[in-house]
């Protein structure tokens, strides 16, 4: 398991994270730990989705959030919920 801790300004991911380009805000809860499938146990995004969030348009962000909800529900059903 890989755990990452980001500064409040998210500068570890990219220096553009504090420049919102869309209305949909990042689901990041700043409790980043990646499971064996590189899915964050805090926000349920994949590492690819996390890294691409800034460049994603609003429609893609909606799709990412939907996938996050599905992943979160699956983890709950498996009794593996770690952080809320």
pLDDT at 64 over 60: yes
Q: Element (H or E) spanning 3, and its range?
A: strand 2-4
**Predicted local distance difference test score (pLDDT) of residue 6:** 53
**How many percent of the chain have pLDDT more than 90?**
48
pLDDT at 12: 41
Distance, C-alpha 10 to centroid of its chain: 12
Q: Which of 64, 9, 50, 3 shows the shortest CA–CA distance to 31?
A: 3
- Residue 71: enclosing H or E segment and its boundaries? helix 58-77
Q: Is the pLDDT of residue 18 over 50?
A: no
Distance CA 7, CA 79 (A): 30
């Amino acid at each position: 398991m890989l755990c990452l801790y980001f500064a409040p300004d998210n500068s570890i991911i990219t220096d553009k994270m504090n420049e919102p380009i869309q209305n949909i805000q990042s689901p990041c809860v700043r409790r980043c730990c990646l499971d064996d499938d590189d899915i964050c146990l805090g926000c349920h995004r994949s590492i690819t989705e996390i890294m691409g969030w800034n460049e994603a348009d609003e429609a893609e962000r909606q799709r990412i959030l939907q996938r996050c909800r599905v992943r979160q529900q699956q983890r709950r059903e498996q009794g593996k919920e770690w952080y809320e």
